Structure 1
Amino acid sequence: MRHLIPSYIRVPVIFFIIFGIVEYMIDSGEKPAFIEYPAVLLFLFLVLLILIAIEAIIGALENVMLHKMDAEAKARFLEEKNSAFEFKWIKNIYKKLAGGKPIEEEGEIILDHNYDGIKELDNSLPPWWVYSFYISIVFAAIYLVRYHIFDGPTQLQEFETEMAEAKLAIEEYKKTAKNLVDINTVVMLTDDADLSAGKAIWNTNCVACHLADGGGSIGPNMTDEYWILGGGIKNVFQTISEGGRDGKGMIAWKQQLKPLEMAQVASYVLTLQGTTPANPKAAEGEIWVDDSAPAEEANTDEGTQEEVTTETNTEENNN
């Protein structure tokens, strides 16, 4: 059986089968396992050496066996080995599909006419062509019934259906792929892991301007209810991503932070609302009201804003 496939084909095939099994069994993320884990590369290299060594040993044993054979047995063995390498079964299949008569039998199908010594053979169509023609007829009949009698979907309808399915699949994927978040899909993150990650980003990048407790220094106070560019998770995410006001304010962080990281730090910023910093900076901007909030909540916020305005006017009059 091993003579049916030469060693220069057998060894690579076995090696790549083992390689595929290793890649399937080992979870290495986006990178191949042999790149992510050097031990896997070493293992595959050893496997290749073992396969080559086995082939070399088998070849050496065959040579020893040939030396012990008599001339007739040796000739018979070599003939069988060489004939196996010729892949006769492939040639037989090709001959059956190609059809035609052997050269020694062409005299049976030579036509009577002769043009300047050129003769013509009455060959039948090759079987592969005949079978393909029959298959095309069956396919045409099925296609006719499916799309012209039973009104199967057109190419445009199939395209629209696949696009709709792809859109739904993308939306489902975005629900679990946090790193694809943008201004339209960002939501307030409440998991402890996300808030801890947001706090770490805050401590690394934001405390220089806003202080660790969010009280504000160069940047505004993040603990009060006044916002320069709007509050809420979407506005805060947008401000972190695109930066503050033109010519002044915070830089755009979208080149330094991933979308998930911006969502995490934006969520952490919102947890600072209502806390009491050590040295809070004076309020800047305006009280922000969430238009998407329920009506009662919005009315409460508006009432609070009116009370603050009234108190401010009273203080100014007293002064």
Structure 2
Amino acid sequence: MKKYFPVYVRVPLLFGLFYGAIEFFVDSGDKPAFIEYPSLGILLMLFLFVIIALEIVGNAATQIVDRLMSPEEREEKERLENLPVTEAAWYKKLMTRLTKSKPMEAEQELELNHEYDGIKELDNDLPPWWVYLFYGTIIFGVVYLGKYHLFGGDNQDAEFKKEMASAQLQIEEYKKTAPDLLTAEQVTLLTEPADLAAGKTIFDNNCVACHRADGGGGIGPNLTDEYWILGGDIKSVFNTIMEGGRDGKGMVSWKQQIKPSDIQKVASYILSLQGTNPADAKAAEGDKYEAVEADAPQTSAEEAPAAETAPEESTK
């Protein structure tokens, strides 16, 4: 690295990489990380001091070694450093620089006195790619320590919980406008003719077998009088259709066959049958229901608030 990058390039480069890593890993909003967190500025200055100190010590050590060399050793060192890179493809030159490998003719200069079974050991320096990777792990470790252990950065568990909370908020917002996610708590009475006509069609296709076409009741209870087994407001009727009637003897749940927005329409249509007094109506069952202000009509099914799939039960 020293051969290709002078000290005035190496020091700013390493400092810039370290600063960039801090800005990437530390969430400081619109402000630079070392301003938002003053201790990071101290850490940056410490890192700069360390790399400058390493450069000073490294240069001093190199000078001392050069002074201790004999003229022949110094001449040989210069010869090895100035050996030309093999005239080959560019990637071979790059590999030579990254591995700092010596040509075959220079290996005798690297041989140690260790030999076993004819195999000799070479005193090669660590390859530059390994050294750079090692420096990178040190920088990463310092940034990681600062973010997660000094400045309370979110770990994977905390990030997961935040994302789940954000997703839940989005789901709740979606439920407010999704017509087929109605619940009994959010349903309102529809009075538009188009909605009631759609409800009548659903009623004719699914409910007349038990309640008769006029709602007078057969197997199921009379839907036209004031008496209800499970409540006579829109929310109760909607819930009865969704979840079904009484265990063992009430109506089955229709939520698998009819979507909530359509159940709202049929429930509204059923309530529109109040007081029609069909001929041969079934005797009243349940308790008399008196309407309250909570049964406020809604103009259209498309404007009805949304919610998740809710219970439905027999209309009585």
TM normalised by structure 2 equals 0.50
Q: Residues 222-271 of structure 1: CA distance to partner in whole angstroms, max 9, x if unpaired? A: 2333211123333223322332233333223234334444344334333x
Distance 1:157 1:216 in 2: 57
3-state SS in 2 of match to 1:249: coil
Q: Residues 174-214 of structure 1: CA distance to partner in whole angstroms, max 9, x if unpaired? A: 2233334445x541263856555433321210122223332
Distance 2:265 2:222 in 1: 19
Distance 1:161 1:243 in 2: 38
Instruction: For residue 168 of structure 1, report the CA deviation from its aligned partner.
Output: 1.3
Letter in 2 for 1:212: A
Residue 111 of structure 2: aligned partner:
111
Do the aligned partners of residues 122 and 244 (structure 1) sit closer, same or farther apart at CA in structure 2, a change above 3 Å counting? same
Residue 286 of structure 1: aligned partner:
287
Do the aligned partners of residues 264 and 96 (structure 1) sit closer, same or farther apart at CA in structure 2, a change above 3 Å counting? farther
Instruction: For residue 170 of structure 1, report the CA deviation from its aligned partner.
Output: 1.6
Moved more, 198-207 or 217-226: 217-226
3-state SS in 2 of match to 1:114: strand
Provide runs of 4+ in structure 1 moved above 6 Å: 91-94
Moved more, 105-114 or 234-243: 105-114
3-state SS in 2 of match to 1:119: strand
3-state SS in 2 of match to 1:142: helix
Residue 225 of structure 2 contacts residue 277 of structure 2 at CA under 8 Å; is this kept in 1?
Answer: no
More helix, by proportion: 1
Distance 2:197 2:206 in 1: 14
1:1-319 matched pairs, under 5 angstroms = 95=95, 99=99, 101=101, 104=104, 107=107, 110-112=110-112, 113-153=114-154, 157-183=158-184, 186-188=186-188, 190=190, 195-270=196-271, 272-279=272-279, 280-288=281-289, 293=294
Distance 2:277 2:97 in 1: 86
Residue 186 of structure 1 contacts residue 263 of structure 1 at CA under 8 Å; is this kept in 2?
Answer: no
3-state SS in 1 of match to 2:174: helix
Residue 179 of structure 1 contacts residue 258 of structure 1 at CA under 8 Å; is this kept in 2?
Answer: yes
Residue 221 of structure 2 contacts residue 282 of structure 2 at CA under 8 Å; is this kept in 1?
Answer: yes
Whichever of the two has the greater Rg, that structure is 2
* Structure 1 residues without counterparts, runs of 5 or longer: 1-87, 295-319
Letter in 1 for 2:119: I
Do the aligned partners of residues 247 and 160 (structure 1) sit closer, same or farther apart at CA in structure 2, a change above 3 Å counting? closer
Distance 1:150 1:282 in 2: 73
Instruction: Give the share of equivalent positions with the same residue, in percent.
Output: 55
TM normalised by structure 1 equals 0.50
Do the aligned partners of residues 92 and 259 (structure 1) sit closer, same or farther apart at CA in structure 2, a change above 3 Å counting? farther
Higher relative contact order (CA 8 A, sep 6+): 2
Residue 182 of structure 2 contacts residue 260 of structure 2 at CA under 8 Å; is this kept in 1?
Answer: yes
Letter in 2 for 1:134: Y
Letter in 2 for 1:237: F
Instruction: For residue 286 of structure 1, report the CA deviation from its aligned partner.
Output: 0.7
Residue 308 of structure 2: aligned partner:
none
Distance 2:173 2:180 in 1: 14
Letter in 1 for 2:190: T
Residue 213 of structure 1 contacts residue 277 of structure 1 at CA under 8 Å; is this kept in 2?
Answer: no
Instruction: For residue 99 of structure 1, report the CA deviation from its aligned partner.
Output: 3.0
Residue 12 of structure 2: aligned partner:
none
Do the aligned partners of residues 139 and 206 (structure 1) sit closer, same or farther apart at CA in structure 2, a change above 3 Å counting? same
Residue 106 of structure 1 contacts residue 121 of structure 1 at CA under 8 Å; is this kept in 2?
Answer: no
Residue 109 of structure 1 contacts residue 123 of structure 1 at CA under 8 Å; is this kept in 2?
Answer: no
Letter in 1 for 2:287: E
Residue 244 of structure 2 contacts residue 253 of structure 2 at CA under 8 Å; is this kept in 1?
Answer: yes
* Structure 2 residues without counterparts, runs of 5 or longer: 1-88, 296-316
3-state SS in 1 of match to 2:219: coil
Letter in 1 for 2:248: G
